[in-house]
A and B are shown apart, each in its own frame.
Chain A
Amino acid sequence: MENQMNHQPQDGQFAIQASHMDIYYGNFRAVKDCSLEVLPRKITAIIGPSGCGKSTVLRAFNRMNDFIPGCRVEGGILFHGQNIYAPDVDPVQVRKLIGMVFQKPNPFPKSIYENVAWGARINGYTGNMDDLVEETLVKAALWDEVKDNLKKSALALSGGQQQRLCIARALAVKPEIILMDEPCSALDPIATLKIEDLMRELSSNYTIIIVTHNMQQAARASDYTAFFTMDPDRSGIMVEYGETSQLFTRPRDQRTEDYITGRFG
Chain B
Amino acid sequence: MINGHETLLSSQTPEMTRRNRSASLWQAIFFGAIVIGIIMLMVLLATIVNQAFGLVIIVDKVPAAALSDRPLEELSREELTTILQNRLSKNRFKTIQRDHAIETMPLSDLVNLVIDNVVQPQVKKSYPLLQSILNRSEILELAKSDYPDARVEFRSWLNRRFLTSTMSPRPETAGVRTAIMGSALLILITIVVAFPLGVGAAIYLEEYADSRRWINRVIQTNIDNLAGVPSIIYGILGLAIFVRALEPLTSGAAFGVVGQNGRTVLSAGLTMALLILPILIINAQEAIRAVPNSLRQASYGLGATKWQTIWFHVLPVALPGILTGTILAVSRAIGETAPLIIVGASTLIMKDPDGVFSSFTALPIQIYNWTTRPQDTFRNIAAAAILVLLALLLSLNAAAILLRNRFSRQ
Contacts and interface: CB of A to CB of B under 8 A. Distances in A.
- Complex contact flag A–B (Cβ < 8 Å): yes
A92 B303 CA distance: 5
A109 interface: yes
Interface string B205-219: 000001110000000
A64 B297 CA distance: 8
Given A69-B210, A69-B212, A100 B294 contact: no
Nearest to A175: B303
A93 B303 contact: yes
A92 B211 contact: no
Interface residues of A, number: 27
B265 to A, nearest CB: 40
A95 B303 contact: yes
Contact of A99 (B211, B302, B308): B302
**Residue among A70, A93, A102, A118 with max Cβ neighbours from chain B (10 Å):** A118
Given A69-B211, A109-B317, A102 B297 contact: yes
Given A108-B313, A122-B308, A95 B297 contact: no
Interface in A134-184: 166, 169-170, 173
Contacts, number: 67
B146 to A, nearest CB: 71
A67 interface: yes
B303 A118 contact: no
Contacts of A118: 302, 312
Contacts of A92: 303-305
A122 B302 contact: yes
Nearest to A67: B300
Interface string B159-196: 00000000000000000000000000000000000000
A107 B298 CA distance: 8
B298 A173 contact: no
B401 interface: no
B215 to A, nearest CB: 15
B295 interface: yes
Given A106-B297, A118-B312, A170 B211 contact: no
Contact of B300 (A64, A104, A169): A64
Nearest to B212: A69
Nearest to B298: A106
B211 A106 contact: no
B299 to A, nearest CB: 8
A235 interface: no
Contacts of A69: 210-212
A62 B301 contact: yes
Contacts of A93: 303
B298 A166 contact: yes
B301 A102 contact: yes
B314 to A, nearest CB: 11
B300 A123 contact: no
A251 interface: no
A89 to B, nearest CB: 13
Interface residues of B, number: 22
A95 B303 CA distance: 5
Contacts of B300: 64, 67, 95
A70 B305 CA distance: 20
Interface string B284-299: 0000000010111111
Interface string B308-323: 1000110011000000
A95 B210 contact: no
A92 B307 CA distance: 12
Given A69-B211, A118-B312, A95 B302 contact: yes
Nearest to A103: B294
Interface in A62-77: 62, 64, 67, 69-70
B375 to A, nearest CB: 59
A170 B294 contact: no
Nearest to A114: B312
Contacts of A62: 301
Contacts of B297: 64, 67, 100, 102, 106
A119 interface: yes
Contacts of A96: 302-303
A70 B297 CA distance: 17
Nearest to B303: A96
B319 to A, nearest CB: 12
Contact of B301 (A70, A99, A104, A107): A99
Contacts of A64: 297, 300-301
Contacts of A97: 303
A70 B210 CA distance: 10
B301 A95 contact: yes
Contacts of A102: 294, 297-298, 301
Contacts of B312: 118, 122
A173 B303 contact: yes
**Residue among A64, A95, A107 with max Cβ neighbours from chain B (10 Å):** A95
A122 B308 CA distance: 8
Contacts of B308: 122
Nearest to B306: A92
Given A93-B303, A108-B313, 7 more contacts: A69-B211, A95-B303, A106-B297, A108-B298, A119-B304, A123-B302, A166-B298
Interface of B: 210-212, 292, 294-305, 308, 312-313, 316-317, 410
The 10 closest A-B pairs by CB, nearest first: A96-B303, A119-B302, A100-B301, A106-B294, A95-B303, A106-B298, A92-B305, A122-B308, A173-B302, A122-B304
20 contacts: A64-B301, A67-B297, A67-B300, A69-B210, A92-B305, A95-B300, A96-B303, A100-B301, A101-B301, A102-B297, A102-B298, A107-B298, A108-B295, A108-B298, A108-B299, A109-B295, A109-B317, A118-B312, A122-B308, A123-B303
